[in-house]
Structure 1
Amino acid sequence: MNRRSVLRTVGAGLATAGTGCLGTGGEVVVSVQQDVHVDPGRAWMETGIPDVSDPGGALRYIVRAQQPFDVYFFTDEAAFEQYKAYIQGREPTETPPANPEYSQTALPKDGGDLYEASTDDGGAREPLEATGPYYFVVDHSNYRMETRVDEFGEALTAFVDLTIIRDRLPF
């Protein structure tokens, strides 16, 4: 075999393997890969994510930054409205948690200066069975006092890699 044939074969194999990792048999309904800038006391939000619970769906994300932050995934609209009121500077009646199965505080990555929050196994696809709509939040505030942020502190710059997948019905 000549070198070009080997490279084509390897490239096709990697593309096929990569497709399997992304979870074939599903339709990507949200895909975000971007740097976001968040002022202290604020949040970056991906809102209006459609319900993928019927026939089933999945979520995967990795968020990285050089300082601590929280990721909240709300599956309850009333809880999200309370969160939004807090971020907008109003006094909500309560500060309910987001869905604990998909939300987390970023932790230092490998003892370095990088913090990361992700779905299990470093950003692997997780079944999303809760009904929507859904709200994905990168939080840089004192909401629920999970990660303390000085109101005059540094802004957060984070890289967000988020994918929501709707499973296809088998035919």
Structure 2
Amino acid sequence: MRRRRFLATAATGTVVGTAGCMGGKVIFSKDGTITVPSGSGKVFELPSEGEEIEYTARDDGPFMVYVFERDSAIETYRAYIKDRDNDDMPAKRPTGLDSLGGQAIKLQDDLYQSSTDERAREPLNADGTAYFVLDNSNYEDTVSARSDPLSIQLDLKVVASSLPI
């Protein structure tokens, strides 16, 4: 009987002890207003140790969010933004991880928002460095660049596991 009670207590202690570790450690965060000039994008390099991402981005106009998981994709993005009229640009441009980015959704007349699903953490499935982009350009035809700069309110966190496994 004592053995069962001991095992139950030990199991409960293990679950409670590791529950605090499951939250992970924030290894990158950005919180504040980000200005994105017309015809450009603001790129944040995310640490390669990042396993999960959580973000909410809001502005009074439409914008795009991209999360690129390959260096070649971010280089194509940067090249396009720098020289849109170059005939050597590929017709099909990388759009990043569709599950994490996309077009900001209109919530109210003057409020657009893009975020991770239910503003919760999502897996960041990148092998190495990933790139988070707030876009105010014509990179994709779905959202046209605004002539005035965006002032996006951003809350971005990248988390690494703190489990010793």
TM range (shorter): 0.7 to 0.9
Q: What is the CA distance between 1:65 and its match in structure 2?
A: 0.2
Compute the RMSD of aligned alpha carbons: 1.9
Contact 2:66 2:132 (C-alpha < 8 Å) held by counterparts? yes
What is the percentage of aligned positions where both structures have the same residue? 34
Deviation at 1:107, TM superposition (A): 0.9
Separation in 1, partners of 2:128, 2:117: 21
Aligned partners of 2:103, 2:39: CA distance in 1, in Å? 16
Q: Distance in 2 between matches of 1:44 and 1:72?
A: 10
Q: TM-score by structure 2 length?
A: 0.78
CA offset at residue 154 of structure 1? 1.5
List 4+ stretches of structure 1 deviating above 4 A. Answer: none
Hey, what does 2:98 align to over in structure 1?
Answer: 100
Conserved? CA contact 1:52–1:131, under 8 Å? no
**Structure 2: distance between partners of 1:125 and 1:31:** 13
Runs of at least 5 residues in structure 2 that lack an aligned partner in the other structure: 1-18
Partner of 2:73: 79
Partners of 1:58 and 1:27 lie apart in 2 by 10
Matched position secondary structure for 1:83: helix
Deviation at 1:52, TM superposition (A): 2.8
Q: Distance in 2 between matches of 1:89 and 1:29?
A: 33
Q: Secondary structure at the match of 1:79?
A: helix
Aligned to 1:120: 117
Structure with the greater alpha carbon radius of gyration: 2
Counterpart of 2:10 in structure 1 is none
In structure 2, which of residues 139, 144, 147 is the aligned counterpart of residue 148 of structure 1? 144
Aligned residue runs from structure 1 range 19-98, under 5 A: 24-47=22-45, 49-52=46-49, 57-89=51-83, 91=86, 93-94=89-90, 95-98=93-96
State the Cα distance separating 1:24 from its structure 2 match: 4.8
Residue type matched to 2:37 in 1? Answer: D
Give 1:118 shift: 0.2
User: Residue 85 of structure 1 aligns to a residue in which SS?
Assistant: helix
TM-score normalised by structure 1 residue count = 0.76
Q: Which runs of 5+ in 1 are unaligned?
A: 1-19
